């Protein structure tokens, strides 16, 4: 009886805790209570990447596909000093080089829609590049809607405009009209991801039940008075023997009972829903939003695993658009460094060519081109000899 009272008390506590912990049973319950707002919720989007590995993999792929770049100056000496600075500038911790800074900056831009960095200088040069957290930065309008005031958190816990806004690096992705903050590429995915996580969480619970079976052992007393009088003792004996039989470890034991005893596996008659189709539908929505071909994320939905030319062109144009958003930040860093070192020469940022086609197809294309050029030369030589 004491055990029964304890179970009731525990159940009552669980019912009372439901409204306090959210309406979703999976660990990322903040996704189910998400409401689109601006500025973006950094913790929500970071939790979204942690909860759904496909989203995190897609953003990581986009960051890597951004590629490398180099800066070409009109002055050779300025280019030499600038290249050394871009390769060795301290980004924080053990990281060096502007590529490390741009990687984190672009990752933040995709995830939250707004990325903030800072150039730390002394009297002569730029010493560090710092990736700022959006939790410690607040953007607001200035006197004009065209002016943006960058506010940083002070030691008193308040926000105040920074003293040197010219050293702040700010980039926003697809801001809405009249808005300061950008739009995350993950916008629209919290709801879809919440449904997906509910399916995954249910699958885990079902397999936990299937892998660790619960049994229902029922003892039915007969009609005679002796059997009914000792029904409780016999039920306890059946429970004790069943517990000894089901103990893990040791040799396999058999359970022997006398009387009307039935044993059933709890939940064995229930059919587990097929999750393949709904999970694929939800993943298709996620992949369509992120713009990454499915097979790059390990999703083999088609018979061909090679990227088609149409997919490559779309992804290339997507990467080119991201490069146009990042290039002003790179130019501002380079311009600040050259100005502090007394250079006034022009420079250009040149990105490496983006190659997404299959290497085998490219090799075959080069082979066909070489063969066609050889045939044209042979035909051209024979024609020249004939005319002479």
Task: Supply the DSSP symbol for 185.
Answer: T
| The two structure tokens encoding residue 210 | 């299937």
Q: What is the pLDDT of residue 102?
A: 95
For residue 138, the cross-strand partners are: 151
Place of tokens 């080069």: 366
| The two structure tokens encoding residue 229 | 């009088």
291 neighbors 314 (Cβ within 8 angstroms): yes
Q: Which of 316, 319, 306 is nearest to 359 (CA)?
A: 306
- Inter-axis angle of helices 309-340 and 98-112, to 10 degrees? 120
Whether omega before 39 lies within 30 degrees of 0, making that bond cis, reads yes
Strand 148-153 and strand 137-141: the pairing is antiparallel
Q: Which of 34, 30, 25, 33 is nearest to 187 (CA)?
A: 34
| The two structure tokens encoding residue 340 | 């502090």
pTM > 0.85? no
| The two structure tokens encoding residue 200 | 């995954």
Q: Residue 114 is inside which H or E element, if any?
A: strand 114-121
CA dist 204 → 200, 208, 209, 364 (Å): 6, 6, 9, 47
Tens of pLDDT along the chain (388 residues)?
444 444 444 333 333 333 333 344 455 555 555 444 445 578 888 888 998 999 999 999 999 989 899 999 999 999 999 999 999 999 977 789 999 999 999 999 999 999 999 999 888 889 999 998 888 888 888 888 788 888 888 877 788 888 888 999 999 999 888 888 899 999 888 888 888 888 888 888 777 766 666 777 777 777 776 666 677 777 787 777 777 777 766 666 667 776 777 777 766 566 667 778 888 888 888 988 888 888 778 777 765 555 666 677 778 888 999 999 999 999 999 999 999 999 988 999 999 887 665 555 666 777 788 888 888 888 875 544 444 4
Report the alpha-carbon distance of residue 156 to residue 164 in Å, rounded.
19
Q: What is the pLDDT of residue 324?
A: 94
Q: C-alpha 93: how far from its chain's center? A: 24
Q: What share of the chain is helix, strand, coil (3-state, %, to 5)?
A: 55, 15, 30
Q: Which of 347, 291, 348 is nearest to 321 (CA)?
A: 291
Place of tokens 């969480």: 201
Report the alpha-carbon distance of residue 333 to residue 231 in Å, rounded.
86
Report the alpha-carbon distance of residue 54 to residue 287 in Å, rounded.
8
Report the alpha-carbon distance of residue 83 to residue 72 in Å, rounded.
9
Strand 168-172 and strand 114-121: the pairing is antiparallel
């Amino acid at each position: 009886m004491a055990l029964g009272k304890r179970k009731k008390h525990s159940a009552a506590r669980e019912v009372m805790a439901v409204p306090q912990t959210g309406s979703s049973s999976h660990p990322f319950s903040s996704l189910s209570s998400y409401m689109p707002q601006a500025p973006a919720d950094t913790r929500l989007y970071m939790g979204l990447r942690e909860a759904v590995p496909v989203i995190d993999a897609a953003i990581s792929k986009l960051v890597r596909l951004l590629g490398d770049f180099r800066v070409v100056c009109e002055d050779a000496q300025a280019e030499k000093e600038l290249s050394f600075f871009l390769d060795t500038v301290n980004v924080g911790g053990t990281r060096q080089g502007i590529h490390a800074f741009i990687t984190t900056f672009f990752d933040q831009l995709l995830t939250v829609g707004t990325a903030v960095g800072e150039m730390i200088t002394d009297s002569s040069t730029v010493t560090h590049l710092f990736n700022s957290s959006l939790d410690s930065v607040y953007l607001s309008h200035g006197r004009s809607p065209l002016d943006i005031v960058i506010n940083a958190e002070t030691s008193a816990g308040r926000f105040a405009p920074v003293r040197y806004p010219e050293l702040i690096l700010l980039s926003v992705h697809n801001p809405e009209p009249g808005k300061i903050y950008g739009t995350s590429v993950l916008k629209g995915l919290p709801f879809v991801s919440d449904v997906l996580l509910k399916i995954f969480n249910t699958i885990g619970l079902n397999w936990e039940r299937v892998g660790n079976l619960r049994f229902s052992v029922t003892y039915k007393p007969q009609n005679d008075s002796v059997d009914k009088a000792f029904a409780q003792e016999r039920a306890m004996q059946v429970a004790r023997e069943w517990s000894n039989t089901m103990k893990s470890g040791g040799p396999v034991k058999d359970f022997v009972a006398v009387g009307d005893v039935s044993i059933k596996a709890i939940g064995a008659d229930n059919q587990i829903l097929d999750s393949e189709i709904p999970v694929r539908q939800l993943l298709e929505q996620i992949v369509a939003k992120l713009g990454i071909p499915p097979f790059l994320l390990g999703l083999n939905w088609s018979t061909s695993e090679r990227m088609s030319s149409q997919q490559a062109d779309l992804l290339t144009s997507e990467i080119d658009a991201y490069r146009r958003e990042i290039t002003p930040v790179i130019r501002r860093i380079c311009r600040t460094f050259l100005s502090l070192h007394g250079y006034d020469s022009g420079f250009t940022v040149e990105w490496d060519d983006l190659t997404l086609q299959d290497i085998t197809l490219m090799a075959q294309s080069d082979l066909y081109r070489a063969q066609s050029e050889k045939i044209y030369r042979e035909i051209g030589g024979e024609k020249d000899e004939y005319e002479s």
